[in-house]
Amino acid sequence: MKSILQNEKECFYTESKFNLEKHHIMPGAFRSKSEKFGLWIYVRCDIHRGTEYSIHNDEEKLTQLKQLAQEKFEMKYSHEKWMQEFKKNYLN
């Protein structure tokens, strides 16, 4: 599914169109649901992983992305559907 968090194939943070990787907002067991519901973004590979500034090493950014994902999801579906699918409220 197309991302519901961004429209262009460019880095979510820098707008670069090169060396992009897909970051699924909801990790682990929920990764496939991230794909299914469009809860992912494109980021440059250095921002994605493997550097001290990568989003996988930044709990604050990870939480902010989960909050944004929940907001967008609930605009399209509902809070009840979010809780049914992802089990945790990131907005309170």
**Residue 28: is its pLDDT beyond 90?**
yes
Query: What token pair was written down for 27?
Result: 């990790």
The pLDDT-based confidence of 4 (bands split at 50, 70, 90) is: very high
**Residue 1: is its pLDDT beyond 90?**
no
Q: Are 18 and 86 in contact (CB under 8 A)?
A: no
**Residue 92: is its pLDDT beyond 90?**
no
Question: Which residue ranges make up each domain of the chain?
Answer: 20-86
The pLDDT-based confidence of 14 (bands split at 50, 70, 90) is: very high
Pick from 35, 37, 57: which is nearest to 46 by CA? 57
Enclosing H/E stretch for 20: strand 20-24
The pLDDT-based confidence of 60 (bands split at 50, 70, 90) is: very high
**Residue 42: is its pLDDT beyond 90?**
yes
